[in-house]
Amino acid sequence: MRKPTDPTSHQEGPKDPTPIPWDALEAWEDPIPMQDTKTLHHMVRRSKNTPHSTTGPHTTPRGTPKTPHHARRALPIAPRRNPISHQEGPYDPHGHHEGAPKLPHHATRDTKTRRHTKRGPKNAPHNTTAAPQPPPTGPPPAPGPVTELRAPKPPLLALSPPHGGRCGRTRGGGAELSRAHRPHKAGAAHAAPRGGGRKRGGGSVGLGGSRGRGMELGWLLWGAAVLLLLHLLMELSPAVNFVLRIGFYYVLCIVCSGLTAPVCLLVNGGRTVKNMRIIKTVVKSFKYFFGLRFEVKGLENFDVEGPAIIVSNHQSILDMMGLMEVLPDGCVQVGKKELMYAGTVGLITYLGGVIFINRKSTTSAKMVMAEVAKTMTADNVKVWVYPEGTRNCTGDLLPFKKGAFHLAVQAQVPVIPVVYSSFTTFYNPKKNLFTSGKIKVEVLPPIETKGLTSDDVSDLTDRCYNIMRETLFRLSGRSGEGKDSS
């Protein structure tokens, strides 16, 4: 919080023509202190340390044997204790709870001293306009510094004790510009003056107001010009269009992940599949920014009793929008472990219960999947796997990895194939193509695995591959022969 200047220099009335130190006004409008980030860290730490809270395979407490059990917690279970309810006393988002940082003393002290500035000392005469000055005698003074040549500043401040923040949390307090004089807000000229509610003479906006509005207009014009230029460039150059759109997608993912993570922590307390509902709500809105539409069929095929393994084709990072468009409740995904280190996106995938595997180590990946097979039934969660093991935007399918099908057979749960039509009609990084488009999504009937063993995994994989490939070609409107023409 910036140290406010001496409030007396902001007395009402045009006594002193010298310009008001505008920056000093800022001191009266400091933002509300940010939420105490220490509390947030405290919550995260508490949620990790509570005996019942789930942790991912990579966060087993020190000393735990690195046996397959480390994956035991791979599946998210709603933590049985919510770190927020363990705060001393009720948790107050405005930070007025135990241990919250107090406002610095001088800020409160100033509140008292400033109390007198609104109307001057307590028993001073109630003069709403300055007493007339006696006419100056003797020769006219030589013109002083430039400042004296400037038009005198209009009366500016209806001072009242500071509220310690922009939003005026104390009763009627706070050093604030009378609305009629607030220098930077468009349309403020006609707002009723605040602070004490007494009518102030004259509603005209001071010079500062028009200058502020001019600046605001300038910025608006600049912004419009930049946007127009960008739009023009995007129209003229596919490469610029592609870079800006995919860049915007990355920014959207990073920023929204950073904003959604605290919400997940506050609502669900830590890593749990329940966070997927929140993530899904946010990601489902992304399609509108890119003019993408989804046409979904067969959602009823998700209505199976208990857990299941869902397998789908994987074309690009845009798949997250398609994933969230149809994601059933209580469904976690299998992802490459590198994702966990992708900044805020890694945090949100961790909080959403994503199961991280090391694709480069079949052994460790198998162990994780084996553990998942054991726990998914107990936790009644579905697991979404991309059997191609990587992104593939050719309009065809890569050969399937077998892990998902071993998982289904080991857990004796059905496999539900999901197919997304080819993105190649609107998205092709090699051709710098990224426009709006329609994606057809089809959820196919479940394939039972009851009674199957690991010997049947190869057949199961091939069967699923063929059904999904045929569906992909049908949805993408192409013949089943050969590679995509693109």
Q: Is residue 330 within 8 Å of residue 381, measured between CB atoms?
A: yes
Q: Which residues contact ligand 3VV (rule: CB under 6 A)? A: 253, 256-257, 260, 279, 282-283, 314, 320, 333-336, 339, 345, 348-349, 352, 354, 357, 359, 362, 365-366, 369-370, 385-387, 389-390, 401-404, 406-407, 457
Dmax over CA atoms of the chain, in Å, equals 113
The single-letter DSSP state of residue 59 is: G
- Coil, helix or strand at residue 458: helix
**Cα gap 366→123, rounded to integer Å:** 83
Counting contacts by CB under 6 A, is residue 344 touching ligand NKO?
yes
CB of 308 to ligand 3VV, least distance (A): 16
Which one of ligand NKO, ligand 3VV, none is in contact with 332 (Cβ closer than 5 to 8 A by kind)?
none
The two three-digit tokens of residue 417, written as one number = 């194939």
**Cα gap 420→319, rounded to integer Å:** 9
CB of 198 to ligand NKO, least distance (A): 51
* Binding to ligand NKO, residues 226-255 (CB under 6 A): 250, 253-254
Residue type (1 letter), 51: P
Counting contacts by CB under 6 A, is residue 189 touching ligand NKO?
no
Which one of ligand NKO, ligand 3VV, none is in contact with 250 (Cβ closer than 5 to 8 A by kind)?
ligand NKO
**Cα gap 250→280, rounded to integer Å:** 16
Contacting range for ligand NKO; rule: CB under 6 A; set: 168-176, 223-231, 337-345, 469-477: 337-345
Contacting range for ligand NKO; rule: CB under 6 A; set: 197-205, 270-278, 338-346, 417-425: 338-346
Q: Is residue 232 within 8 Å of residue 258, measured between CB atoms?
A: no
- For ligand NKO, the binding residue among 159, 324, 345, 372 (CB under 6 A) is 345
**Cα gap 444→418, rounded to integer Å:** 6
189's CB contacts (< 8 A; 6+ apart) are 180, 203, 204, 205, 209
Residue type (1 letter), 172: G
The single-letter DSSP state of residue 401 is: P
Nearer to ligand 3VV, 256 or 444 (CB): 256
CB of 249 to ligand 3VV, least distance (A): 9
CB of 354 to ligand NKO, least distance (A): 9
Which one of ligand NKO, ligand 3VV, none is in contact with 342 (Cβ closer than 5 to 8 A by kind)?
ligand NKO
Counting contacts by CB under 6 A, is residue 40 touching ligand NKO?
no
Contacting range for ligand NKO; rule: CB under 6 A; set: 146-154, 164-172, 290-298, 341-349: 341-349
Which one of ligand NKO, ligand 3VV, none is in contact with 260 (Cβ closer than 5 to 8 A by kind)?
ligand 3VV
Which one of ligand NKO, ligand 3VV, none is in contact with 283 (Cβ closer than 5 to 8 A by kind)?
ligand 3VV
Contacting range for ligand NKO; rule: CB under 6 A; set: 67-75, 85-93, 311-319, 397-405: 311-319
Which one of ligand 3VV, ligand NKO, none is in contact with 344 (Cβ closer than 5 to 8 A by kind)?
ligand NKO
Nearer to ligand 3VV, 25 or 457 (CB): 457
CB of 478 to ligand NKO, least distance (A): 23
Q: Is residue 202 within 8 Å of residue 128, measured between CB atoms?
A: no
**Cα gap 435→88, rounded to integer Å:** 52
φ, ψ of residue 32 to 5 degrees: the values are: -60, 140
Q: Is residue 460 within 8 Å of residue 449, measured between CB atoms?
A: yes
- Coil, helix or strand at residue 300: helix
CB of 364 to ligand NKO, least distance (A): 17
Q: How far is CA 203 from CA 177, 327, 450, in A?
A: 13, 57, 80
Nearer to ligand NKO, 224 or 255 (CB): 255
Which one of ligand 3VV, ligand NKO, none is in contact with 343 (Cβ closer than 5 to 8 A by kind)?
ligand NKO
Provide the β-strand partners of residue 420. Answer: 441
Q: Is residue 368 within 8 Å of residue 74, measured between CB atoms?
A: yes
Q: How far is CA 126 from CA 119, 121, 122, 133, 299, in A?
A: 8, 10, 10, 18, 74
Quick one: 308 exposed, middle or buried, by C-beta within 10 A (0-12, 13-18, 19+)?
buried
> For the window 355-394, what string marks contact with ligand NKO as x by the rule CB under 6 A?
-----------------------------------xx---
Say how many residues make up the chain.
Answer: 486
The single-letter DSSP state of residue 447 is: B
Contacting range for ligand NKO; rule: CB under 6 A; set: 38-46, 228-236, 259-267, 336-344: 336-344
Residues that bind ligand NKO (CB under 6 A): 250, 253-254, 314, 317, 319-320, 336, 339, 342-345, 390-391
